[in-house]
Structure formats: structure tokens, C-alpha cells
Amino acid sequence: MPASLDHIHSDTPMGANLIADGATFRAWAPNARAVYVIGEFNNRARTNASLLTPDASGHWRGFIPGVKDRHRYMLYVVGEGSEGPKRDPYARELETPFPGECIVRTRDFPWHDSKFITPPFHEFVIYQLHVGTFFAPNVPRRGGTFLDVAHKLPYLAELGVTALQLLPIQEFQTSFSLGYNGTDYFSPEMDFAVRDAELLPYLAEMNKLLDAKGARRYRAEDLRGEMNQLKALVDLAHLHGLAVILDVVYNHAGGEFGDQSLYFFDRQSHAHGNNNSLYFTDKGHAGGLVFDYSKAEVRDFLIQNAKFFLDEYRVDGFRYDQVSVIDHDGAPHGWRFCQDLTSTLHVHQPSALHHAEYWNVNPYVVRIVPDGAGFDMTLTDGLRIALRNVIGNASAPDDRPLDMTGLAHSLWPDGFSEQWRFVQGPENHDIVYRDREPRLARLADPSDPRSWYGRSRARVATGLSLTAPGIPMLFMGQEFLEDKQWADDFVSHPELLLYWPGLEQGDKQMADHVRFTRELLTCRRNSPGLRGQGFRVVHVHDQNRVLAFHRWVEGQGHDVMVVVHLAPFHRFGYRIGFPCGGDWREAFNSDVYENWVNPDVVGNGGQVTADPHPMHEFVFSASLVLPANSLLVFTR
């Protein structure tokens, strides 16, 4: 007889789920002739006892007794085109080395009650990192892991960012990857996990972090496997006051699939191309295939994946890769999928952040259903392009005008009603990847990124992104003046790993840049106007290379003036309009961080006075000293 259905309710969850003295299994394979569950609990035998039962919708269900936590299994699918084992698309963990079997897993993990609350959106400062290369102390034997990232949590918390955005962590089949070729959507990447035999030193390190927080320690069993290690990273991040955002790829899967993946999952014939592949269309993207959003089961697979990470891993939101591909290549169903996705998740976990990448930038992505796609915010490139253009031109050995006007226009992209609806930053994983664009310090001075020119202009670029409207995003290493591009292949390109040894061994220029970033983030946190909705460009001058803008909290005040100066010499007595008279505190001066504390600092002595001298459509103005290549922040 087929596996007993006595224990199965009509809404049996997908995948393998432990209940009572065994586990339920459910798979969607509408064109399969038979689906078996084969595992170490039944000697991997294809018998009537391991055969699942189909229903009219193409779902195969069954209950198999004797299944326990960490038992290995596969689905054996018989189709019209072929037969053989398939990994469960809903498998929570996979066996190493890849390709291995699926692993039945319980949902238990000893979470700490951190009282962590996801920040309101306008409080987000995002730090983007790649788990395999962010901190990789065991290269070349192994790249970075979830627990290696956890090792740096005190550093990141002290830096002042509020959210970690991990490049995709779902299992991919290649040895090295940015993560955008995933195939096993519910399983964390196994190469990002520490093996059992090497776990004890990591256990000791994680417990030091817990001890510092006065929290209960982990046991070795608690950290076994990639599933629990990702949970530990989220758990520890919350204890350190940091949100965790996952980068998810719902526009396409693969690049390489393999016969045991979800590609042609119900094993139809390949004769009619990829339209027979169940989950996908015949449209390709980034070497993989675009999902088939016309099928309710495919849409549900992706929506359930997001709900799974919100519930199982307690993440705080998502960055959605290339939503524009979902819309364009998934037409006419892709936009509706986005609306279903965001509507479901906003109800499921209202505090979660939903950040869409969409090119060309489309404000309708962040508008509510029914007109918009319903995402909370979207990545924009206007400030990045304008800022990199200005910094690059400033590096030329002449006094050419800079396009400060274009930079000013980029500060608030057209079509967005709230300043937290867009995410901006001068570096990200795409831009500064190997053989693409230079990092900020090298852009600022191609001949010597560690020169005063490179350091000071890099401070301006990072500083402007942290004081401009929008949610700022830093890319790993930006905060300590990393001047190398990066690569996911740490074996072929170990020279492109982040230069942590310099920071750890007292490289003063790196330490000064970290201090600059940390203290500017403190200024941002202490100045509500820098997170407020009020914004106005006050003054822009291309020849003088000056830009000034006003930020405030509507209805409350908390006025802030930000002044950017990119000439390589100081200006004295430069008058700029201010929104109100009296004394203003010079809350931040980037020139202080040149050889901290700069013995030759140029500035305004910590305070300026705005007097009744009308200028720039204000009644008041102040005479300022503008240090060379600097950013100044004035607060009330």
C-alpha cells in the first residue's frame, strides 16, 4: 500500500515535517508517474511503503514512520522523460559534500530572548557583505562562514550600522559564487558552515560573545549544521542590536542545476525545451532560468520561502534581486506575483523590510497595491552615479568645475514621496566586483589611494551618503578605506580579500577611517534631522565645488545643514544661507579625521553664528571656513 495518509491533514506542509513517530512528506510533481521517499529510515527502498499518494492538484503526500531528526533522504521521481532521485525543493538542510542527500530537520533552536525589535525604516543603515569573503581567517582551506561573520558582530555594532544585508545564502552548486545562482531555496549554503570536526573553537568564540551579553551559552549540538549556524548568526546579531536582511533571488534560479535539482523536477521530457521544466519558463537570466509565475504553485513556492525565513530564521527583511526581471521577463504574471508577495508578507510580519532592486528605477515598485508592487523601498543609482562622477573628476590634476548641480539633483530621486523609500550608496557588490569599477579611495586618487587626496575624497563620498536623504548602504570594507575590488573566488584571488590584518595590526589610516565612519554614524543617530523627511538644496556651485543642503524633521525642526567642499584647498569666509539665526554647532568636520586627531585641522572652531544677512532664499546666513575636500555638519 502507499504510505499511510492517516496522519495527514489536507493542508500538510510541503517538504519533510516531523510529527509523532515519523514524518509527513509532500511534493509538487503534477506530471510524475510515481514519487517515492527513500532514506536511511527505510533502507532507501522504493516500495509501496515509501510511495507517496497523488491528489488531483499534482501534490504527492504521505506519512512514513520511524523518521527522526537529521535522517537523510531523497525523493525518487518517476516521470515520462526519466526517473531518478531528486532533492526536495523544500529541504531545510543538505548533506555535505555537495551534492548530498537532504536532511530531515526539526525547527527547534535555543533562541535567546533578546527583546530585539526591527528598527523603523528611516533608522536603517545597511551594511552589505558576502559571507564567504567578508572575514575568512581560514583561507585557502576554507572561505568565510556564518560563524566567522558572527565573530565580527561587536565590531559592526560599535560601527553604528543597524542592519546586515547578506548576499544570497541559499545553496548554490558552484564552488564559488556571489550567490545569485541558487538552486535549493530552503537550504543555507553548506560552504558557509563549519564542519562538526572543527566546531569546538567556534563554539568557544560564540560563547564569549554570549558571556559578554550575560546570555545563556550554546552547546555544541546547538551549532551543528548550516541551518543552526545561520540561526546563531541571526540570534547573535539581534543580541548586538543588529537586524539581518537576506538577499533573495526570486527572478531566476540556477546557472548550473544538476539532474537532482528542482530543474525538470517531475522529470518530463526535455524534448519541448525548458517550458516543460515545471518551475521555469524558457527565458534565461544570468545563466539561469526565469521562474514561471503563471503557475500558482511556483508563486506559492517563492512566497512560502520568504515566510519560512521570516519564521524559521527570524530575519528582519529581504533585498529582492532584479525585480525588474520578474516584471519584464515574467510578464504578464510577474507584477501580480510581486503584489501577492508583498501583500502576504506585510500581513504576515508587518515590521519586516522589503527592499526591491528594479532597473530602471521605478517609483511604482514602492507604491501600495493595487497601483504599485508594494515593496517598502528600492535601490536607486542616481546618487551613486553622480557621486562617483564628481569624485572621479576631482582626482584630475586641474581645477575643472565639478557637476555639483547634478549631484544635488541626485540627492532625492524623482517620484518618491518619503526619503526612506530609496536605498543609496557609492559602493555595492556589483559595482566594485573584480574587473569592474574602482573602490572609492582608488577612484579618488588612482595613482595612490592612500594619499591625502584618496583618503579625504573617500571621506566626502561616504560622508555624503550617510547624511543625504535615503537609507544609506555601506559595502564591506568601505568603512576602513578598503581600496581593492573584491571577488567571491578567494582561492584564485586571495589578494582581493578584505585587509583585516591591517586594521588588526594598527594601520592608522584604516583606523582613522573607521573612526570617521563610526562617529559620523553617531552624529546621524543623534541628529533627528538627518533621518527626517524635510530636505532642500540650499546652495550649489560647480566652479567652487560646493554643495549645501538643509535637512529637518517636518513639524518639529531639528534643523541640520550639510556642506560638501571638493576643492583641494581651504576656503575662508564662504557665506551660505541658514534657515534660522543664532548659534549653530559644528557637529561634524571630516578634516578632523586626517591623521586623527588632525593637528592642523581647519574648520569653524565647533560653532558658527548665522546673522540676518539674507542669502539663498533664507533670511539668515553664516560665514564659513570650508576645509579642503571636506564634509561639514551643523546642527541646532
CB neighbourhood size of 501 (10 A):
10
Cα separation, 6 vs 263, whole angstroms = 31
Residue finishing a domain among 40, 56, 86 = 86
pLDDT of residue 7: 37
Let me know if residue 471 belongs to a domain. yes
Q: Looking at the structure, tell me whether residues 236 and 283 fall in a common domain.
A: yes
Domain extent at residue 71:
15-86
Let me know if residue 92 belongs to a domain. no
pLDDT of residue 1: 36
pLDDT tens string 50-103? 999 999 999 999 999 999 999 999 999 999 999 999 999 999 999 988 788 999
Low-confidence ranges of the chain (pLDDT < 70): 1-10
What are the Cα distances from residue 375, in Å, to 125, 314, 333, 369, 415? 18, 19, 17, 9, 15
CB neighbourhood size of 496 (10 A):
18
Q: Looking at the structure, tell me whether residues 245 and 306 fall in a common domain.
A: yes
Cα separation, 48 vs 50, whole angstroms = 5
The set of cell numbers assigned to 480 is: 576602513
421-458: burial string, b at 16+ Cβ within 10 Å, e else = bbbbbbbbbebbbeeebbbbbbbbbeeebbeebbbbbb
CB neighbourhood size of 272 (10 A):
11
Q: Looking at the structure, tell me whether residues 498 and 545 fall in a common domain.
A: no
pLDDT of residue 10: 54
Longest Cα–Cα distance of the chain, Å, equals 91
Residue finishing a domain among 86, 113, 137 = 86
Q: Looking at the structure, tell me whether residues 329 and 188 fall in a common domain.
A: yes
| 597 residue type, one letter | V
| 25 residue type, one letter | F
Q: Looking at the structure, tell me whether residues 533 and 588 fall in a common domain.
A: yes
The set of cell numbers assigned to 23 is: 514524518
Let me know if residue 433 belongs to a domain. yes
Closest alpha carbon to 296 in 337, 344, 338, 342: 337
Q: Looking at the structure, tell me whether residues 203 and 158 fall in a common domain.
A: yes
pLDDT of residue 272: 86
Cα separation, 633 vs 622, whole angstroms = 13
pLDDT of residue 4: 41
Q: Looking at the structure, tell me whether residues 486 and 532 fall in a common domain.
A: no
Number of structural domains, the chain? 3
Q: Looking at the structure, tell me whether residues 236 and 299 fall in a common domain.
A: yes
Give just the sign of the alpha carbon dihedral 227, 228, 233, 237. Answer: positive
Q: Looking at the structure, tell me whether residues 507 and 536 fall in a common domain.
A: no
| 211 residue type, one letter | D
CB neighbourhood size of 48 (10 A):
9
Let me know if residue 393 belongs to a domain. yes
Let me know if residue 443 belongs to a domain. yes
pLDDT tens string 502-547? 999 999 999 999 999 999 999 999 999 999 999 999 999 999 999 9
Residue finishing a domain among 513, 538, 567 = 513
Q: Looking at the structure, tell me whether residues 306 and 237 fall in a common domain.
A: yes
Cα separation, 568 vs 395, whole angstroms = 10
pLDDT of residue 398: 94
Let me know if residue 116 belongs to a domain. no
Q: Looking at the structure, tell me whether residues 391 and 537 fall in a common domain.
A: no
Q: Looking at the structure, tell me whether residues 496 and 552 fall in a common domain.
A: no
Let me know if residue 95 belongs to a domain. no
Which SS3 state, helix, strand or coil, does residue 29 take?
coil
User: For position 582, which CATH number holds?
Assistant: 2.60.40.1180
Let me know if residue 105 belongs to a domain. no
Q: Are 278 and 266 in contact (CB under 8 A)?
A: yes
User: For position 74, which CATH number holds?
Assistant: 2.60.40.10
User: For position 479, which CATH number holds?
Assistant: 3.20.20.80
